Amino acid sequence: MLAIWATILFSASDLHADDKTVRNSCDQLIVSGHTDYPPFNYTDHETFRGASIDLIRLIARKIGIRVEIRNVGPWIRAVKNLTDGDIDLLVALYITPERQSQYLFTRPYAQDPIVMFSMARSAFPFKDWYDLAGKVGVTTRGDSWGADFDQFIEQHLTMMRVNTTDQMIDMLSQKRADYGIQGLYTLERSERRIDMANDIAISSTPIKSEQMYMALSRQSPCRDLIDKINLAIEEFEQDGTITKLIASYVKSNGS
pLDDT at residue 202, rounded to an integer: 95
pLDDT at residue 20, rounded to an integer: 54
pLDDT at residue 195, rounded to an integer: 85
Write the DSSP string, 56-121.
HHHHHHHHT-EEEE---SSHHHHHHHHHHTSSSEEEEE---HHHHHHEEE----EEEEEEEEEEGG
pTM over 0.75: yes
Q: Indicate whether 37 and 96 sit together in one domain.
A: yes
Q: Is 241 a member of any domain?
A: yes
Burial per residue of 227-242, b for 16 or more beta-carbon CB atoms within 10 angstroms, e otherwise: eebbebbeebeeeebb
Q: Indicate whether 39 and 103 sit together in one domain.
A: yes
Does pLDDT of 10 surpass 80? no
Which pLDDT tens digit goes with each residue over 20-47? Answer: 566 889 999 999 999 999 999 999 988 9
pLDDT at residue 254, rounded to an integer: 43
Does pLDDT of 17 surpass 80? no
Q: Is 15 a member of any domain?
A: no
- The CATH number for 51's domain is 3.40.190.10
| Confidence tier at 15 by pLDDT (50, 70, 90) | very low
pLDDT at residue 14, rounded to an integer: 40
Q: Indicate whether 229 and 105 sit together in one domain.
A: yes
pLDDT at residue 252, rounded to an integer: 57
Q: What is the mean predicted confidence (pLDDT) over 194-206?
A: 91
Which pLDDT tens digit goes with each residue over 132-186? Answer: 999 999 999 989 999 999 999 999 999 999 999 999 999 999 999 999 999 999 9
Burial per residue of 54-73, b for 16 or more beta-carbon CB atoms within 10 angstroms, e otherwise: bbbebbbeeeebebebbebe
Which pLDDT tens digit goes with each residue over 57-104? Answer: 999 999 999 999 999 999 999 999 999 999 999 999 999 999 999 999
Q: Give the chain's domain count.
A: 2
Higher pLDDT pick, 9 / 170: 170
Does pLDDT of 16 surpass 80? no
**Contact predicate 221/125, CB 8 Å:** no
Residue 38, CA distances (Å) to 43, 98, 129, 248 in order = 9, 24, 25, 11
pLDDT at residue 194, rounded to an integer: 81
Q: What is the mean predicted confidence (pLDDT) over 108-132?
A: 96
Q: Is 6 a member of any domain?
A: no
Q: Indicate whether 36 and 63 sit together in one domain.
A: yes
Q: Indicate whether 90 and 131 sit together in one domain.
A: no
Q: Is 120 a member of any domain?
A: yes
Q: Indicate whether 155 and 241 sit together in one domain.
A: no
